[in-house]
Homo-oligomer: A and B are copies of this chain.
Amino acid sequence: MATIEELARRMKTDAAAMAASSVEIRNKALIEIREGLQANAADIFEENKKDLAAADEAGIAEAVVKRLKFDENKLRDVCEGLDMLRELPDPLGRVTLNRELDEGLRLERITCPIGVIGVIFEARPDALVQIASLCIKSGNCALLKGGKETTNTNRILFRLIHESAVRAGLPEGCLAQAETHDEIDELLACDRYVDLIIPRGSNAFVRHIMDNTKIPVMGHADGICHIFVDEDCDREQAIRIIVDAKIQYTAACNAVETLLIHKNIAKDFLPKLAEALAEEHVKIRGTKEVISMIGESGSGEKETITEEDFDTEYLALTVGVRLVEDVEEAIRHINTHGSHHTDSILTNNDKNAERFMQMVDSAGVYHNCSTRFSDGFRYGFGAEVGISTGKIHARGPVGLDGLTTYKYKLYGHGQIVGDYANGVKSFHHKDL
């Protein structure tokens, strides 16, 4: 069997052919993949059952097992996703600059794929299909490593997807799969061949990846999202939004972790909030003021917060609460303690909303809605390969656009720089 380095080297070679592939072939691959998955549904479910049985035996929590499952519903969802992706416009070959530098010397900036991308993701078979298809549509070669709890499902899905892609006319090296944990370290060492690593998973895992490779890494370690409840706001709406942002999917990176409450409304608002949170079994970790203002309301679980808690992603039914003087203090708190993911202001004051959205240094800045909206599907990107909290390249949910880069093409007729340096010729820089 080929080592990861050998696979990556081959992919680097095939990346040029993949970049040159027509959108017709890439779309044809998406159709072939859908048909391949549908035609082999029974076999896929069979393999998935093996993974589920192993998970059961290992005593894996039910919530996690739910994610491992790949049934008729999940198959339907990924097939719909494949169709949606096919309908999106080609992200490649878009001319984003067309400029005549001088007569007969034309500069074009044109979008193209990044090249070879390594994606390491959690045990979710539907993620494998989504990631592979996003990489195909964007003309990238993808080296995939999924969670070990779905090894059997991943293996058959990968085989079917790869066969379909090659049948459609894409190069052999368009996709490859890594199956063992050791291979992750091999992948991280392939900086000569791999252009980008996208890790998904726990905070500690993503940090490990970031600290152990020279390859650029796109993704997020923490997701410490905030909601600031301003003085003048719709308080019932605020409670509904906070509850959604905390409990709709508690383990998601865009779930809220810290609430900042304007001091002038705290006395009235906090007891109502505490009741609503208690009903949903959310524990409040508040400052002393907050705890005392809540008193016995809701009689939910309450405890005092420490300074470090503000830098913690709970990913659990716990929420931090503190009071702030005004929008300025809320902005300072978020820019100091946040992870630049998604933060929301709830206010009827448009000036405060604009100030917040301008000054908060996060990928997503929201007004009067739940932080949970930050997601590639919800943004209309078809799907996402991950969410980036970095500021270089792509930010927020990363779909097709984030998987492309560009190159400059210069069309000349024998021009040399010497003529411009000596003043024989000069640039006129006309955008066409």
Q: Which residues of A contact B (CB under 8 A)?
A: 12-13, 15-17, 19-20, 99, 101, 105, 107, 114-115, 195-196, 210-211, 214, 216, 218, 234, 237, 240-241, 243-245, 248-249, 331, 335, 357-370, 372-374, 378-380, 390-393, 395-396, 405-418, 420-421, 427, 429
Contacts and interface: CB of A to CB of B under 8 A. Distances in A.
A406 B415 contact: no
Contacts of A380: 99, 101, 107, 427, 429
Nearest to A388: B405
Top 7 A-B pairs, shortest CB-CB distance: A369-B412, A244-B416, A380-B429, A372-B417, A237-B414, A393-B393, A216-B392
Contacts of A218: 392
Contacts of A216: 216, 390, 392
B359 A407 contact: no
Q: DSSP class of A's interface residues: helix, strand, loop or mixed? A: mixed
B416 A365 contact: no
How many chain copies does the complex carry? Answer: 2
A365 B409 contact: yes
Contact of A414 (B19, B234, B331, B378): B234
A381 to B, nearest CB: 9
Contact of A396 (B234, B391, B408): B408
B210 A418 contact: no
A379 B396 CA distance: 30
Contacts of A101: 373, 378-380
Contacts of A373: 101, 105, 410, 412, 415, 417
A225 to B, nearest CB: 13
Contacts of A405: 391-392, 395
Contact of A412 (B15, B249, B366): B366
B379 A107 contact: yes
A195 B12 CA distance: 29
B359 A19 contact: yes
A365 B20 CA distance: 14
Nearest to A108: B357
A30 to B, nearest CB: 19
A17 B358 CA distance: 9
Given A99-B380, A107-B379, A196-B391, A374 B240 contact: no
Contacts of A20: 358-359
B196 A392 contact: yes
A72 to B, nearest CB: 18
